[in-house]
Amino acid sequence: MSSPRTRLRRLPKFYGRVGSWRFLIVTIGFESKILTREQCVQWCQARDRTRPLVFTNGVFDLLHRGHVTYLDEAAQLGADLIVAINTDASAKRLGKGPDRPLNTLADRQALLAALASVSIVTSFDEDTPYALIDQLKPDVLVKGGDYDMSTLAETALVESWGGRAVAIPFRHQRSTSALVRQIQGGAR
């Protein structure tokens, strides 16, 4: 399997009719980057997989400049970037607020998959992505600058097979929680 980010592919075209109207249906290419957990594991285990494989995770509720800058920097650390998103239930357990996430898992996945820097988008329902990381065995684990990488169990896991963990400093000082407060009329 080649990377959706690097391979050239011909998208299927279908023609349909409604009454006298003829229309073209084209598959949306970025949606092919959204994989189930099982599909993602198979994708990572493919023999022709380019390395290094970079992994990051998060809720990514309201996509903002800080997110896309972070993801672009993460992608530059390897050949392919996998982004694992907390399911709606997992995101609610993080305690970010009673109405979070604002966007559904499917919508959050679609927005991330549409980014050129992202190779694959998947999801996880656990509180942490530890089990998923163990299945995927990425070469590089990336987190935002607010994490002390040395304290994360995921860091020790990735290092156990020779990988490394990297914290990318925040840029642009953006936060989804701050955006939600601003939208609701609160302070920045």
- CATH number, position 35: 3.40.50.620
- pLDDT value of position 95: 82
- pLDDT value of position 100: 81
Condensed to tens digits (0 to 9), the pLDDT of residues 40-98 reads: 999 998 867 788 999 999 999 888 888 999 999 999 999 999 999 999 999 999 887 77
Would 21 be classed as within a structural domain? no
Domain span holding position 97: 31-183
Average pLDDT of the residues in 127-145? 96
Would 2 be classed as within a structural domain? no
Would 171 be classed as within a structural domain? yes
Beta bridge mates, 80:
53
Would 9 be classed as within a structural domain? no
Peptide bond into 138 cis (omega under 30): no
- pLDDT value of position 8: 42
Would 165 be classed as within a structural domain? yes
Peptide bond into 4 cis (omega under 30): no
141 has pLDDT over 90: yes
- pLDDT value of position 56: 98
In the chain, the number of structural domains is 1
Would 144 be classed as within a structural domain? yes
9 has pLDDT over 50: no
Average pLDDT of the residues in 107-117? 96
| Confidence tier at 173 by pLDDT (50, 70, 90) | low
Would 162 be classed as within a structural domain? yes
- pLDDT value of position 10: 47
Would 6 be classed as within a structural domain? no
Q: How far apart are CA 69 and CA 61, in angstroms?
A: 15
Other Cβ atoms less than 10 A from the Cβ of 71: the count is 24
| Confidence tier at 6 by pLDDT (50, 70, 90) | very low
Average pLDDT of the residues in 147-163? 95
- Please give the residue that has the higher pLDDT: either 46 or 164: 164
Contact 133, 141 (CB under 8 A): yes
Neighbouring residues of 134: CB distance < 8 A, sequence distance ≥ 6: 157
